Structure 1
Amino acid sequence: MLGLLVFLTGLPVVAAHADTDDDLLVELTSVTPTVLDASSELVITGRVTNRSGQQVSDLAAHLWRDATPITTIDALNAAQTGPQDSGEAMQSSQAVQVLGDDGSLQPGASADFTVRADLSPDAAEQLWLSQPGACYQIGVQIFSAQQAVGGASTLAPFPGDDQSEVGTVALLSATPTLLPLDSQTAEVPVFADDSLSDELSGRLDRLLTLAEQDDVWVVIDPLLYDEVTALAEPHSIREEDGTVSEPDSAGSATAQAWLDRVDALISSGRLTRTLYGSLDAGSVVTAGRSDLIGRAAGLPAGHALAGLPLAVVPYGGRLDEATAASLGQVSADYVFAADLGAGRVRYQTSGLDVLSIDAASAPGMQSDPVASLGASLARQLIGSHQGMPAIEIVSTDEQVNLALSDQSWLSRRPITELAAASGTPGDPSWPTDEQPVDAALVDAIDQSAPGLDSWTELTTDPNETPTASPQPDSVDAATAVLAGTWSQSWGRDTDAQVAWLNAAGQAAIELVGPDAVEVRASDWVTTSSEDNLLPVTVVNKTDAKLTVRVHFDSDNPLRIRVDDSELVTVDPGESATVRVSPIAQGNGTVAMRAQVVTSGGHPVGMPVSFSATSTEAGRVAWIIIVASGVVLLGATAYRVRSMMRRKGREDEG
């Protein structure tokens, strides 16, 4: 288990007035310094929460350490899967803090702690964490009435004078905030909130500062690039009550400056793009929606990032064989994954180059920042010593702050050099556990996807635009919503993802609703298949310009049928009339239905029923007239001929 190592089951535990061993939640909030040395003080802060239904008494937090040096990858892996039993709790006064009110915590209550110890060789109570090139487990242990009842630990490196090599990948991504559907139909881009402005002044600014260092590889989400591009223009915010604010340029200058810095990196050879929206490739493949990888992998030719290599960092660094095959189908240039087997920096599979990364640094592994950073630093130290330099992914506040700090024991090298020096690529060992997928998210996306695709067809005139995109440099809005919803930047928080889907897809829900479009058709009388052009009216009740056609169903198409109308564009709040030509094959009345559909055939609005009557009276009458004429002419000719014969006999007589 990467991240927080909780002792609740690993150490001898006696529950103090508690029902279960996990009634106490112990969290580390900071460890200073993150890299041990022999001349500083170790300070650990954290919090203990009583999750039981009863008071817990006589509680104290003790600084804890395991002085066993960790010097190999195997030992490091063992430490990350569970705490060792050989550690000891410190007893000096500064290393112990009584918790809560005189050591008691009520149900649901929390208490913060700070414990410390001297790392110097002449300290009164020795930590014995001093072997250069080794890592150690450090943390706290919680006691109640002299019994250990919980604890938490992390890893800390002690490099000494040793030097280690590391490869760094700066991942520029953020949770989506631009509402693609609203923005396409509004005069200015519309955002769900203004959080992107804060990110550009904080985390994303520092990440870009790291990315501008020569030895750092950079992966950017094209969706983030598009959102910052939109923010650089006058834009609006959709308020909580659904209203849209007046356009303004708040944050636009910061956004443009950030974009200019990214654009300057395009020619560096270090900038790559990831799947649109940082799509969670593993989840979509497990859910049977690998088609979304194809949609998220491509960019329109006019997009600023279209010419960049495609790089993918799976959620949690986890890559399975099926996901690798899907990424191979879109020709990903780089894939960064963890735990594919020991002893290799580089692997090859499905035509992919896969580079091994530190799993603790991967997206989605930062639920406990203290433990994640400790694990990453430990991996960098031990891996480099064993000929496996670590490649770290940097995306969070804590990661970028550490990466920008002075780490004299680390030497950063480009990942291309690390890969080239790693020797023959290995064959990956695939994980055997199944990728988790929340059925609620899959159901929500499956229900929304047809409406989103219908929205794209409704708002796009194929006669004017050669692609599915409203602009030659932008991804179609439906793909933006779906990829943004299944983005790994949400940390697989299904509630947050479904909430975003509902917010971002609201315009599509309204546009394809039963009252969005109305079709009007009255009963028809048609006399032939050639002499009628009958009217049908389409009324657009939305605020968007729509491109539609009218489709007809007949209860008896052998008697009367009507082909679909041509596409017609209807302005917001306006109506348009199309004329169609019924094809009648016989007399009679036939029940019919008219339905407005998109260019792709998706129905919109409610169908309307009417009847069509076919009569060939005109044609029958004409046949009768012609037939009567033929009879008359025949009778007249017979009379003329009879009279001529009679006259001939009289002349002979």
Structure 2
Amino acid sequence: MRAVRALLATLLVTVIGLPVLVAAPLLTATTAHAAEPEAWARVSIDQVSPALPSRDQPDEKVTLSGRVTNTSDVELSNLQVAFWRSLDPIETAEGMTAALASAANDPLGARALGGSLFVNVPSEDDRTLEPDESTSFTITATLAQLELPDIDGIYLIGVHLRGRTDSVGPDITVGRGRTFLPVVSETPKEKVRQTSVVVLSSRPSLVRTGYFADDHLVDELSGDGRLTRLLEAAGAQGTSFAIDPALVQEVQAMVAGYRVLSDDGTSREGTGAAAAQTWLSRLAGLITSGDGYRLPYGNPDVTALVHDGDTGRLREAVRIGAQVPATAGLRLLVLPGNGTADEETVQAVAALDPAVILLSDATIRTATAIDSPVLRGPAGSTLVRYTAGASGGGPGPAPRSTPAKVQQRMLADTWIAARSAPEGSPAGRVRVVTDPNQTAGRDNEVAAPWLAGATLTQLLTATPAAWSGEYRYTAGARDAELTAAQLAAARGLSEQFGTYTDLLVEPRVAQADAAIALPRSVSLSWRDDETRSQRYTSTVEDYLDDVLYERISLGVIPRVSTTGRLGTFPITVRNDLPAGADPDTNAIKVRIVFGSSASQRLTVAPIDIARVDAGQTVTVDAQVQAETNGSVRVRAQLQSPDGISVGRSKPVEVTATQAGTIGWLIAIAAGIVLVGTTVLRIRQVGRERAAEEHEPEPLAVSRPPDRADAPDGSKDTLDV
């Protein structure tokens, strides 16, 4: 039966696999997983030794180690771990895809027989696990005992956990674990030139200078923490790394001494200074000797910013990142979320002049195989196409992404790629590592005769290949971006920081805090984590609210009275921001404006105050202009020089008590003038009439007829 099965496998490769070898030497990114059979326990395969057994040594032992955990709510008894394997070799990318998608009981395979091919767990004397209880196991078999067919290929191997869910019931398979095992005797002629890029970044925590939202970095920087393990992987031979300058700045802040904020606004001393110092020392060595690149500061969600029309924020992240001394000498690398992007995003990123733009094979798909993953991008940029599945886990069931499974998956993938590569054209392969489980072993160095390591810098020496320029950006990729609410919250912070900066005589403090918080508010880390995202932005917002609404305030007298049309009343500006050694630190410049409920009756002129030092107050007189008597409610409001409201407005009731006196005086004076003028006119008219009565009669004057009418024709004459 084994011989027949091997022959069928060979025929399938010949009939079906050949086109695949030519067109798709590298595996695709996504794999749909079949529903798993019912299980009562989880089986984790944590070590495979050796990773590449030699077929020429049939007595060589293959050892699997791991852990089993009772995930049910019943006691599991009579437990035994048995070696399992499939006798069907996998020789093509299509076969690998099918194996990754298959359920744990497909193919059925067979448990290996023999006295050493099963072990009782937890021990010979105790074969019971209570719910949530777990135990380790180690099981060994020689290649001869596994009875694999004499065909080079990738084989599924693993264990079956046998036991009882009922103490008087039958033995059944209560859990399964599988991984890949390359068993080959002939080395492929071509090699796969593999480049691993380890991404060193973490969820943002620093909210302003010296203050953190939480202390999660302590665990990540510890001896066996996530960032420590990634740093070790980044130092492996032939490996490159890309680091977020914001992470470096956070770790440096921990070394300098920091405080961790609580939800109630209080803070406590941070505890991670020692771990941070150790990590920084190792990082310095890696930067000196390794192949490194820097990400934009805060590792922002590039596609979300571009689609939101906020490319300015992206440029600012690049600018700030270039100013962090530890990473300033590294070249810029841009990695959009999940390596997916559309043409608009790539065009915007290319304008930043990065050394490389990393995109996954889910975004860049080609109809034919591309020997080099280095592609020609827009505006002279360089794209590097990475295989999204290269750091993926092994076959199910979960957990799929243990280091051992990742290691075996990588060896299997690259063997198929090397075997499929055209003669004289070695395949290039790039994988991105963001989690320690993707490092393919503790040291990220797995030797295989068909595998050649290459740094990203070495890879970039290749001439970029031309391609169609078509990007694949799905609706699902768009939905994965930061939400509209998250982007709106970030814009709100930007507006508040703008006000804070405008208030300060010397804005260095506000600018430094803005440079910390604004790029972090749009970090990729907040995708699918709106709760932590909101907590971060709320923490920054609470700090700014305290500055703008509590520390800077107005002091007024609630009720004031003025006499006359013009008057004054005192008003005080208080600056409770902390003072520094520099007298300009936290000194502010403000404007006070007044809103009147009846501006036609009473107004108060705005006041500009050039300086209020930190911890000081300044009192000035507000100028009132009243048109009528009575009370008018006025609200005093602080503003930045640009006219943005600051702090809380304060009401003042202004009462004008003699605002109409002058008006009445003017009216009375006008009446007196009118009466006097009238009297004088009457007297003048009387005098004129009296004079007319005493004057002589005027002489009578007659005019003779015209000369033409005179009988004698003489000239005109006057006769008196």
Rounded Cα–Cα distance in structure 2 between residues aligned with 1:364 and 1:276: 30
Kept in 2: contact 1:51–1:108 (CA 8 A): yes
1:423 is aligned to 2:432 = no
Say which SS state the counterpart of residue 89 (structure 2) adopts. Answer: strand
Say which SS state the counterpart of residue 165 (structure 1) adopts. Answer: strand
1:392 is aligned to 2:423 = no
Match of 2:476 in 1: 434
Match of 1:608 in 2: 650
Match of 1:137 in 2: 156
Kept in 2: contact 1:313–1:362 (CA 8 A): no
Match of 2:406 in 1: 372
1:272 is aligned to 2:293 = yes
Deviation at 1:536, TM superposition (A): 3.1
Answer with 1 or 2: which has the greater Rg.
2
Deviations 1:95-152 (A, max 9, x none): 3233458554433333432222224xxx334345872xx4333333334445444423
Kept in 2: contact 1:337–1:359 (CA 8 A): yes
Deviates more, 1:555-564 or 1:46-55: 555-564
What is the one-letter code of the residue matched to 1:116?
T
Kept in 2: contact 1:456–1:477 (CA 8 A): no
Rounded Cα–Cα distance in structure 2 between residues aligned with 1:456 and 1:611: 33
Match of 1:17 in 2: none
Deviation at 1:169, TM superposition (A): 1.8
Deviation at 1:221, TM superposition (A): 0.4
Q: Sequence identity of aligned pairs in percent?
A: 22
Deviates more, 1:235-244 or 1:59-68: 235-244
Rounded Cα–Cα distance in structure 1 between residues aligned with 2:412 and 2:261: 45
Q: Closer, same or farther in 2 for the Cα pair 1:73/1:604, shift >3 Å?
A: farther
Rounded Cα–Cα distance in structure 1 between residues aligned with 2:503 and 2:287: 32
Match of 1:594 in 2: 636
1:46 is aligned to 2:66 = yes
Match of 2:142 in 1: 118
Gaps of 5+ in 1: 14-20
Match of 1:80 in 2: 100
Q: Closer, same or farther in 2 for the Cα pair 1:376/1:619, shift >3 Å?
A: farther
2:196 pairs with 149, 163, 168, which one? 168
Rounded Cα–Cα distance in structure 2 between residues aligned with 1:611 and 1:43: 87
Kept in 2: contact 1:231–1:251 (CA 8 A): no
Deviates more, 1:632-641 or 1:602-611: 632-641
Deviation at 1:166, TM superposition (A): 0.8
Note the 1:480-499 alignment, pairs <5 A.
480-483=519-522, 486-488=523-525, 492=528
Say which SS state the counterpart of residue 374 (structure 1) adopts. Answer: helix
Gaps of 5+ in 2: 1-26, 164-169, 395-399, 580-585, 697-720
Say which SS state the counterpart of residue 70 (structure 1) adopts. Answer: coil
Deviates more, 1:604-613 or 1:641-650: 641-650
1:407 is aligned to 2:426 = no
Q: Closer, same or farther in 2 for the Cα pair 1:457/1:74, shift >3 Å?
A: same
Kept in 1: contact 2:211–2:261 (CA 8 A): no
Kept in 1: contact 2:357–2:382 (CA 8 A): yes
Kept in 1: contact 2:195–2:454 (CA 8 A): yes
Say which SS state the counterpart of residue 242 (structure 2) adopts. Answer: strand
Number of residue pairs aligned between Structure 1 and Structure 2: 621
1:359 pairs with 370, 378, 388, which one? 388
Kept in 2: contact 1:210–1:400 (CA 8 A): no
Rounded Cα–Cα distance in structure 1 between residues aligned with 2:417 and 2:633: 76
Match of 1:97 in 2: 119
Match of 1:617 in 2: 660
Deviations 1:220-249 (A, max 9, x none): 2021122234345x3234387944449997
Match of 1:555 in 2: 597
Kept in 2: contact 1:194–1:237 (CA 8 A): no
Kept in 2: contact 1:44–1:116 (CA 8 A): yes
Rounded Cα–Cα distance in structure 2 between residues aligned with 1:370 and 1:3: 20
Kept in 2: contact 1:274–1:312 (CA 8 A): yes
Rounded Cα–Cα distance in structure 2 between residues aligned with 1:609 and 1:137: 78
What is the one-letter code of the residue matched to 2:89?
P
Rounded Cα–Cα distance in structure 2 between residues aligned with 1:322 and 1:92: 61
Rounded Cα–Cα distance in structure 2 between residues aligned with 1:258 and 1:470: 31
Kept in 2: contact 1:168–1:391 (CA 8 A): yes
Say which SS state the counterpart of residue 140 (structure 1) adopts. Answer: strand
Q: Closer, same or farther in 2 for the Cα pair 1:26/1:257, shift >3 Å?
A: closer
Kept in 1: contact 2:305–2:311 (CA 8 A): yes
1:228 is aligned to 2:251 = yes
What is the one-letter code of the residue matched to 1:372?
V
What is the one-letter code of the residue matched to 1:98?
N
Rounded Cα–Cα distance in structure 1 between residues aligned with 2:435 and 2:345: 25
Q: Closer, same or farther in 2 for the Cα pair 1:235/1:68, shift >3 Å?
A: same
TM-score of the superposed pair, with normalisation by structure 1: 0.74
1:154 is aligned to 2:154 = no
Kept in 2: contact 1:347–1:428 (CA 8 A): no
Deviations 1:385-417 (A, max 9, x none): 435422122344451865553626332224365
Rounded Cα–Cα distance in structure 1 between residues aligned with 2:343 and 2:84: 41
Say which SS state the counterpart of residue 391 (structure 1) adopts. Answer: strand
C-alpha RMSD of matched pairs (Å): 5.2
Rounded Cα–Cα distance in structure 1 between residues aligned with 2:639 and 2:435: 46
Say which SS state the counterpart of residue 460 (structure 1) adopts. Answer: helix
Match of 2:335 in 1: 313
Kept in 2: contact 1:358–1:379 (CA 8 A): no
Say which SS state the counterpart of residue 339 (structure 1) adopts. Answer: coil
Rounded Cα–Cα distance in structure 2 between residues aligned with 1:528 and 1:362: 83
Match of 2:35 in 1: 9
Say which SS state the counterpart of residue 91 (structure 1) adopts. Answer: coil
Rounded Cα–Cα distance in structure 2 between residues aligned with 1:64 and 1:322: 50
TM-score of the superposed pair, with normalisation by structure 2: 0.68
What is the one-letter code of the residue matched to 1:117?
A
1:55 is aligned to 2:97 = no
What is the one-letter code of the residue matched to 2:543?
A
Kept in 2: contact 1:66–1:88 (CA 8 A): yes
Deviation at 1:357, TM superposition (A): 1.6
Deviation at 1:279, TM superposition (A): 3.0
Q: Closer, same or farther in 2 for the Cα pair 1:214/1:127, shift >3 Å?
A: closer
Kept in 2: contact 1:220–1:272 (CA 8 A): yes
Q: Closer, same or farther in 2 for the Cα pair 1:504/1:475, shift >3 Å?
A: closer
Match of 1:219 in 2: 242
Rounded Cα–Cα distance in structure 1 between residues aligned with 2:391 and 2:533: 20
Rounded Cα–Cα distance in structure 2 between residues aligned with 1:61 and 1:192: 42
Rounded Cα–Cα distance in structure 2 between residues aligned with 1:96 and 1:503: 55
Q: Closer, same or farther in 2 for the Cα pair 1:566/1:118, shift >3 Å?
A: farther
Rounded Cα–Cα distance in structure 1 between residues aligned with 2:110 and 2:376: 44
2:132 pairs with 108, 117, 122, which one? 108
Rounded Cα–Cα distance in structure 1 between residues aligned with 2:683 and 2:475: 104
Match of 2:555 in 1: 520
